[in-house]
Amino acid sequence: MSHDENLKVEPWPDPPFPDFDAEGFMHPPWVKFPNLPRRSSGWRMGIGESYRDDFDTWWSRQPRSVRLSVRAKYPESQDWSGFWQSLSGA
């Protein structure tokens, strides 16, 4: 399997995708791990769970203006519909 094929199949990108974008926004889960479905057990254990916990903590510390900017920059995919609304203070 080539490196490009591995990126399309494996849930954990290699090389790892950065946690933050150039603006200092933390990537939402579907951007960080695009091949890991929302309902996957990967979000409840291991790397996915750790990242989701870190994202939730980061999000909770952001002012409303940053939250609105992140939501505009990273619209939910169909699989992640309702994610932004599920976060308190979103």
* pTM, entire model: 0.80
User: Is the alpha carbon torsion for 28, 45, 12, 16 positive or negative?
Assistant: positive
Quote the domain boundaries for residue 53. Answer: 3-86
pLDDT digits (tens), the chain, 90 positions:
444 444 455 666 666 778 999 999 999 999 999 888 999 998 998 889 999 999 999 999 999 999 999 999 999 989 999 999 999 655
Total domains in the fold of the chain: 1
Q: Residues near 45 by Cβ (< 8 Å), separated by ≥ 6?
A: none
CB-count burial class (<10 Å; 0-12, 13-18, 19+) for 62: middle
